[in-house]
Structure 1
Amino acid sequence: MSSNNDPVLISMPQRNSDVLPGMSFSDQKGPVLSFHNICYEVKEKRGCLFNLKTIKSKKLSDVNGIMKPGLNAIMGPSGGGKSVLLDVSAARKDPSGLSGDILINGAPRPANFKYNSGFVVQDDLVLSTLTVRENLAFSVALRLPTTMKKHEKDKRIKMVIDELGLDKVADSKYVDTQFVRGIAGEEIKRTSIAMGLITDPSILFLNEPTAGLDWSTANAIFSLLKKISEQGRTIIFSFHELQNSVFNLFDSLTILALGKLMFHGPTEKALTYFESAGYRCELYNNPSDFFMDVINGDSPPVIVNRKKVYEVNEAGQLFMRKLRMIDKLAQFYTKSPLLRETETELEKLSGGQNYGSPSFKEITYVTTLCHQFRWIFWHSFRKLVGHLWPWILQIIIALILGLIIGGTFLALKNDCTEIQNRTWSLYVLTVFQSIMSISARDIFLMERNIFILEYISGYYRVLSYFLGKLVFDLLQEFFFPSFIFTLVVYLMLGLKRGITAFLIIMITALMVNYSATSMILAIGIHENAASGKTLLVTSYFVFMLVFLGMSLNSETMAPQLSWLQYFSIPHYGYMALQHNEFWGRNFCPTLNITNDNHCPGYVICSGEEFLLMQDMDLSPWGLWRNHVALNILIFIFLIIAYLRMLCLKRNS
């Protein structure tokens, strides 16, 4: 479905509806995913800072296989390549290191395969402040066309909720996370699966769906997946270790170690195959544990054979034995009838054609940028409403700090003796706006993994996410605390009155805040608090605030350092505040009226005189050029932050 406003999305085959490539409608039972001679390499940098070398590391080596409708399991030891094969099959890896063919029913995957297939990551990345139904509504709003009626989308949500047995917790206030106690772990995993199924995909990928769950919950999850697969879906998943009752639910099994195939075929043939290789599973042994023991060289036959060569260097011996065992099993598989059967079936599927290395083009989305922006803004708002106390606490802290600063410089007098206190109050106002922006890195960092998952799944463009999150968080997290602090200080200190003077103070304070925020985003948009780039930002502000404090008395400033002011965000804000506060002020109002004058002859009596001493331009441009400079810095830093988000997307 499409309209003039919504770009056409190449639709992925849907179960029981569309005819899949390579199959007639009469014989269609579900999609068959096949991979032909798949190799995958990544470039890794190794060495010290001055001797970095880029080497190629092979993650998959000549992997062949067929995934039919049903439960298709991929297992292996850590670092064996199971997650890489899963991601490559789902088109979620950089295709530049990929060679071989991945086909759907004998035809190349459509360009938007990764958007229309379902993918469930290992971590449950659902927003804790939304209900199950609201999380699904967000996914539906961005992944289904806007031409689809609201009642149709609601029907889709209800269908998925009923299919996964979430009807009793659909409107629960919170889902369970590290910080918020909500629904049980099984319901959380079901919610993640529901997010993957919301577009009704024919192929569903899951990365270790039972990681962190107890055996009873894992059994319930796989029983659910088995039921879903019986509806004509091809479900492909990775796992590390499972109990025997769950293992018997699998239709096919793929075992990988160091990127090489140890076994691929029907699950019921796995034990017989390993027995033919000389490794027999004991009667009450868990098959998945048995396979891992064989690969690691810990099965009973291997242990008996190695007693004669047991040496002191146990760790090295274990590693070398594991490598030899993997090579032995890989060689055995290449000569097995199972591989020949797989190759014969692959030949039938591909028709003997070689499609070359897969590549994917950037495609259009089913929703417009404005539609995505609106839903991301709503998403952020719901997150705030569901977790309001941190924001309220931030407001309270800003209010208390404002009262403390206001009490320190309470009711500044309009005479020459208070000029120094007045400049110090403006300095403190500037310092607060700069320091408050340090938390800006959390705008995108806290939801970094969710952003990567949702972007790859085709929820939104990077630009719509960037603008939606930025606009809301600048309003919610920075505007209100900054406004309240500045308002309290302005009223308590008795700064220059008048609506124009008030607006200039408020605008300047916000611009300093937003400039500093933009710089932090540009440098550390996805860096943690301990990273070198974050420490660099902190060092910058410490130095610039010290430099600004020295500039309070321009006579103490070394001329050789004067050029640093052009790189200082606080400097522009402070100069604008001074110009606004002192221009047109008379600090000796009784000078021409009475001889009772408290100002000695060497004391400044007018604001213009003070500004001239600071080498400031008295014209309106002397004020507004600081605002222009801050606006330019905001624009440059936000562009850099956006480009860095694009790099984060590209490297994810």
Structure 2
Amino acid sequence: MSLEKEKQRLLQTSRRSGYSSIQGDSRPTSQKRLSNGKDDFAVAFTTTQPVTYSWENIEIYLETSQGNCFKRSPPVQKRILDNVTGCVRPGEFLAIMGASGAGKTTLLNCLTFRNTGKLKILGQRFLNGETVNTDTLARISGYVQQDDLFVPTLTVKEHLQFQALLRMDKYLTYSERMTRVGQVIHELGLTKCENTMIGNPERGIKGISGGERKRLAFASEVLTNPSLMFCDEPTSGLDSYMAQNIVQVLKNIASTGKTVVCTIHQPSSEVFALFDRILLMAEGRTAFLGPVSDALSFFSSQGLPCPPNYNPADYYIHTLAIVPGQEIESRKKSKEICDAYESSQAGQQILEIVKANRSFKLSESQEFQLDEVNVRKSPYKASWFAQFRAVFWRSLISVLREPAVLRVKAFQTIFISMLIALIYQGQTLQYDNVRNIQGALFIFLTNMTFQNVFGVVNVITSELPIFLREHFNGMYRTDIYFLCKTLADLPVYVVFPFIFVTIPYYAIGLNPEAERFFIACGIVILVANVATSFGYMISCLAGSTQVALAMAAPLIIPLLLFGGFFLQNGAVPIYFDWMRYISWFMYGNEALSINQWVGVRFNDTVCPNGVCTGEQILKNFDFDPNLFYRDIGGLCGLIVGFRFLAFFALLSKTYRKN
């Protein structure tokens, strides 16, 4: 195919794919604001902007350091992809295949600008003739990753509604968004389970099946009518029937004019027959790229005909695989196949197509524009308040629909508070009981700390992968997620601390005045929220549950020691004195003690002159009654300070280089 013919083919494709003249509305039909009823709205999502995506001379290296701490050696470069060139056009379904380690997943990550880590990438990627970047690609493409990440407490319909509120264009009304949700549910066969919770077997939440989860992942991406679809191992973990069903969904998506690319591992013959084009990879090189039917003739020309009644996909993968014990012969064979492809007519034709796409830039006179490919100032389609409403709604549902978690928290709170009440009950105001009362007050602080820190760590770290994926998909801002999560959890960290203090307070024999009771509840609630903020900070710094749990205890114990119970404030070494001021144990213990003892007088023969005062008791513990409001301010300051640190730690995880 000549370069000029390929340019003409690209122009014809653009005219057939829903573009109107620049004299009128130059946007693609799917982006126009239609007002003729549901039929016109449905038509708007059946057409799409044609996208030709090409990549040229892609080379990827991984640098590994050599030597040790005593001797440094220059880093060694390991080549993962070697001069890979290819192209996929509108209406085509391209499958990237190859044996394990062939480089297919690395190529998909390179094409989607994701998960590249420390890899060094060379080469160029073009979208309709223009150099593409991550923001441009994210706005017009959908990416179905191998691991399905969902909030398990949402139903299928609620999940898609949440996606529609944040990912669909601003000009669409709420009713149109919900109409689109209904269409996608029907198209992907999710009507039966639309009101079923997604679930998570690992957390004991029953939900939809594996095939339905995979279809829901496709529905989340199809919802916005992307022009370009990427899928990483869409059939992973599915039986043969469900795998064929999922690939048929992708085939139907491509038939609407979209460009579809997927990696796939060992497809069945029925699944293989659904592909339009295949890209076979071996040792990081291209072994074949072209129509499925042409692959048989190409391998036959190399003296490698596919046996009759044999799955072609299995044959290609086995032929290109590196056989253990026969590495030299296998690598030699795969190199010969890759070299033959580069010099073949199929290889040269791909080079011409890529060259045509790189040099082909349609002008306004040719009735084609790339308005939607241009990067806008904001990567988010929803406003700040729209994001807040949607994320806060989902956060509330997540809290309210996990009855197991709430039941465990309630049981833990009631059980421990009743145990404390039984152990410390009937502490009369005698000098010998002062230490017991102080111990009970300190137990309030330690229980609220460990219960809330470790509770938060488990929840936040489990949600981080979902947050990062949705954030990088341009759904909502970091501050939105953090604020909504904080507000949704707040009632839990107010109600349970209040219950925890209420049950044992009068049973122990603490200060009976009603005002003192509510002040004690308020102090414990502040301590619980400081501990929650500390848990947020640890979770966001660590990123994983195991690391966060390992970090939490060593960081809490030193602060516990400076709480004024095990070591008096005046006895703290001067070089550690600063740690008292970041210890919520110190602020909480002093505030609770002041609330308990100020103004209290009782007769006891052990006391000096036979009379004990609360001020004397506070002095014995090195607490100052004049510092009560400082302690309250310190707790409030730690709540804000730890949450700011947690937010910035979370923000750092969302930073990525261009």
| Global fold match (TM > 0.5) | yes
CA shift digits 1:80-116 (9 cap, x unpaired):
3222322332343569944333222223447442133
**Residue equivalent to 2:544:** 528
Q: Deviations over 1:337-360 (max 9, x none)?
A: 22211111112221179xxxx998
Mapped contact 2:587–2:635 kept (Cα < 8 A): yes
- 2:9 alignment partner in structure 1: none
* Residue matched to 1:6: none
CA displacement at 1:332 relative to structure 2: 2.7
Q: 1:413 to 1:205 in 2, by over 3 A?
A: same
List per-residue Cα deviations over 1:144-164 (Å, max 9, x = no partner): 245421211111111111211
1:250-289 residue CA offsets vs partner (Å, 9 max, x unmatched): 0111122343212111111112212223322211222222
Alignment match of 2:381 (pick from 327, 346, 366): 366
Match of 1:442 in 2: 458
Distance in 2 between the 1:25 and 1:565 partners? 63
Equivalent AA in structure 2 for residue 161 of structure 1? I
CA contact (8 A) 1:61 1:260 kept: yes
- 1:237 Cα deviation after fit: 0.7
Residue number in structure 2 paired with 1:230: 255
Give the drift of 1:248: 1.0
How big is each residue's C-alpha offset from its partner over 1:193-221, in whole Å with a ceiling of 9 and x where there is no partner? Answer: 10011111121111111100000111111
Q: Distance in 2 between the 1:257 and 1:98 partners? A: 18
Q: How does 1:467-506 map to 2 (within 5 A)?
A: 467-476=483-492, 478-506=493-521
Q: Which amino acid aligns with 2:147?
A: D
- Distance in 1 (CA, whole Å) between partners of 2:167 and 2:15 is 15
Q: Quick one: distance in 1 between partners of 2:21 and 2:439?
A: 73
Secondary structure (helix, strand or coil) at the match of 1:38 reads strand
Equivalent residue runs for 1:76-87 within 5 Å: 76-87=98-109
Alignment of 1:623 with 2:628, yes or no, is: yes
Matched, 1:254 2:262: no
Residues 294-373 of structure 1: matches in 2 within 5 Å?
294-298=319-323, 317-351=325-359, 363-373=378-388
8 Å contact from structure 2 (residues 19, 49) kept in 1: no
Which of residues 181, 191, 208 in structure 2 aligns to 1:167? Answer: 191
1:458 corresponds to: 474
**Which of the residues 608, 612, 617 maps onto 1:610?**
617
Distance 2:378 2:122 in 1: 22
Deviation of the 1:431 alpha carbon? 0.9
Question: Quick one: structure 1 residues 537 and 405, their matched pair in 2 at CA, closer, same or farther if it must change by over 3 Å?
Answer: same
User: In the alignment, what sits opposite 2:125?
Assistant: 102
| Residues in 2 aligned to 1:54 and 1:567: alpha-carbon distance in whole angstroms | 43
Does residue 1:132 correspond to 2:156, yes or no?
yes
Structure 1 stretches lacking a partner, 5+ long: 1-12, 299-314, 589-596
In 2, distance between residues paired with 1:40 and 1:30?
Answer: 28
Per-residue deviation, 1:321: 4.3
The aligned amino acid for 2:647 is Y
Residue 543 of structure 1: CA displacement? 4.3
**Mean Cα displacement is larger for which, 158-167 or 176-185?**
176-185
Range moving further from structure 2, 556-565 or 35-44 = 556-565
Summarize the Cα distance change of 1:506–1:368 in structure 2 as closer, same or farther, 3 Å threshold.
farther
Identify if the C-alpha distance between structure 1 residues 431 and 149 changes in structure 2 by more than 3 Å, giving closer, same or farther. Answer: same
RMSD (Å) for aligned C-alpha atoms: 3.4
Q: Which moved more, 1:605-614 or 1:142-151?
A: 142-151
Equivalents in 2 of 1:361, 1:237: separation in Å?
27
Shift of 1:136: 0.4
CA contact (8 A) 2:52 2:357 kept: no
**Does the alignment pair 1:120 with 2:127?**
no
State the partner residue of 1:541.
556
Change over 3 Å in CA distance of 1:185–1:94 after alignment to 2: closer
Q: Which residue of 1 aligns with 2:299?
A: 274
Q: Give 2:163's aligned amino acid.
A: S
CA shift for structure 1 position 470: 2.6
**Matching residue's letter, 1:39:** E
| Alpha-carbon contact 1:377-1:469 (below 8 Å) kept | yes
Deviations 1:209-248 (A, max 9, x none): 1100000111111122212221111111111111011101
For 2:62 and 2:486, locate their aligned partners in 1 and report how far apart those are by CA, in whole Å: 33
276-285 or 89-98, which deviates more: 89-98
Structure 1 position 73 matched with structure 2 position 73 = no
**TM-aligned CA deviation for residue 450 of structure 1:** 1.6
The gaps in structure 2 that reach 5 residues or longer are 1-13, 30-46, 362-372
Note if contact 1:132-1:175 (Cα within 8 Å) is conserved in structure 2. Answer: no
Equivalent residue number for residue 425 of structure 2: 410
Question: Measured at CA, do residues 362 and 177 of structure 1 come closer, stay the same or move farther in structure 2, by a change above 3 Å?
Answer: farther
Taking structure 1 as reference, are residues 120 and 45 closer, same or farther at Cα in structure 2, changes over 3 Å only? farther
Contact 1:92 1:114 in 2 (8 A): no
Which residue identity is paired with 2:104?
K
Q: Which amino acid aligns with 1:538?
A: A
Residues of 2 paired with 1:636 and 1:81: CA distance? Answer: 45
Q: What is the letter of the counterpart of residue 589 of structure 2? A: Y
Q: 1:255 to 1:615 in 2, by over 3 A?
A: same
Map Cα deviations across residues 529-561 of structure 1 (whole Å, 9 max, x no partner). 433x53232123234435547536679877876
Task: Say if 1:258 and 1:639 are closer, same or farther in 2 by CA, change over 3 A.
Answer: farther
Deviates more, 1:318-327 or 1:343-352: 318-327
- Tell me the distance in 2 between the aligned counterparts of 1:607 and 1:215: 76
Report sequence identity in percent.
26
Q: Would you say 1:516 and 2:536 are equivalent positions?
A: no
Tell me the amino acid that sits aligned with residue 511 of structure 2. Answer: K
Tell me, in whole angstroms, the C-alpha distance in 1 between the residues paired with 2:48 and 2:381: 27
